[in-house]
Amino acid sequence: MSEPLHILRPSAPRRAVGFVIQLVLGILLLWLAIAHPPAALGWQLMLLALGIGALVLAQAGWRGSSVAIELREDGLFQADGRVIAPLDEIASVDRALFSFKPSNGFIVRLRQPLGRAWVPGMWWRVGRRLGVGGVTGGAETKIMADALSMMVAERDARGV
């Protein structure tokens, strides 16, 4: 396993704010469903489901955003060793202002789909797109995106 060239850690304040907002949303939806139930049972069940879903997502986001993202010579990885995207599969990196990307993040276009995956608040992968960012700091994410762009350009210049 190669040494990390750059490590992208979640911002503690952003992580906490995201968790608290999702937690409050879940609690409010459950409170609304129980304390002030709508007349129709279907609406009450929907409010209960949405409240439980918000609480589950809050917990998943808290857990998921505890693991850093590492840029290594051979691609993007989670600090626990999970492969996010091997360098060989990365076609391009996009940080454009109007790109569909996570907050303070960037988009990686892949050569082929690597399967769906999602770590709330840190990264997602759907089809041939990978979004990195969310609860990460903007400056650190920009550094990682620029470094990854340079690595892809060097790889392409070598003709690999």
- For 30-64, what is each residue's pLDDT tens digit? 999 999 988 899 999 999 999 999 999 999 889 88
Are residues 29 and 95 in contact, defined by beta-carbon separation less than 8 angstroms? no
Specify the pLDDT at position 125. Answer: 94
Does pLDDT of 160 surpass 60?
no
pLDDT of 71 above 80: yes
What residues does each domain of the chain span?
1-160
Given this model, what pLDDT does residue 102 score?
A: 79
d(CA 119, CA 139): 21
Mean pLDDT confidence for 100-109: 86
Please give the pLDDT value at position 1. Answer: 63
The C-alpha angle 7, 153, 97, rounded to 5 degrees, equals 70
Q: What is the pTM of this model?
A: 0.80
pLDDT digits (tens, 9 = 90+) for 126-156: 999 999 988 888 888 899 999 999 999 998 8
Res. 77: pLDDT tops 90? yes
Taking residues 83-94, what's their average pLDDT? 91
Q: In what order do the strands lie in the sheet with 129-132?
A: 90-94, 106-110, 129-132, 123-126, 117-119
